[in-house]
Amino acid sequence: MGILLDPNRQLINIDIYYIEEIKPPHNISLFHFIRSAKDMEDWKKKGYKLSTEIAQTPVQPNTPGMPAAITKIINKITIVCKRITWKDQNMLWSQTTKFVPTQDGKTQTDFDAIKYRELKLKLVLKNWDLKDPEGNPIDINIDNLAPDVAQEFLSTYEKVAEPTETDLKN
């Protein structure tokens, strides 16, 4: 059954590490994604620590009396993604491709890459471990994600779940 997608192996857990930097004066969040062991090492050299390495006592950033280093946190989000099937792929292509007549009576194919990315992320992203400050799970709402976060989710999924040209050669 290896050539078919195994229904028991269609979901993939993907860990994404990131730094959230709050930029004053408007408190805008900038996200720095850690994509390699070298990136992780570089951030740790700057004094950042994984949230799991910090004491279990919950501490709010910039708490008076707490050392500044405690706010240098490397966050982790685990996203759960669905592997795309042949049917899914065909649906994505059919919803993002249209045939447009040209002036010379022929037809050209137009592909909507923006709609493709949006539909693909909505199709594959099934769950995540984000919680609100009270510890309650946050429902997935892709439309409200920051563009760089949505793009990181999609590109990380593609790196993990889709074979590269190198993979196919071996």
pLDDT digits (tens, 9 = 90+) for 121-150: 999 999 999 998 898 999 999 999 999 999
Highest mean pLDDT among 88-97, 100-109, 161-170: 88-97
Peptide bond into 147 cis (omega under 30): no
Q: Which helix (H) or strand (E) holds 13?
A: strand 11-23
| Whole-angstrom distance, CA of residue 152 vs CA of residue 143 | 14
| Whole-angstrom distance, CA of residue 146 vs CA of residue 141 | 11
β-sheet bridge partners, residue 97: 111
Residue 59 has pLDDT above 80, yes or no: no
Q: What is the pTM of this model?
A: 0.79
pLDDT digit string, tens, across residues 3-16:
666 666 789 999 99
Residue 54 has pLDDT above 80, yes or no: no
Q: Mutual orientation of helices 86-96 and 113-124 as an angle, nearest 10°?
A: 150
| Whole-angstrom distance, CA of residue 47 vs CA of residue 43 | 7
Question: Of 12-26, 61-75, 128-142, 147-161, where does mean pLDDT reach its minimum?
Answer: 61-75
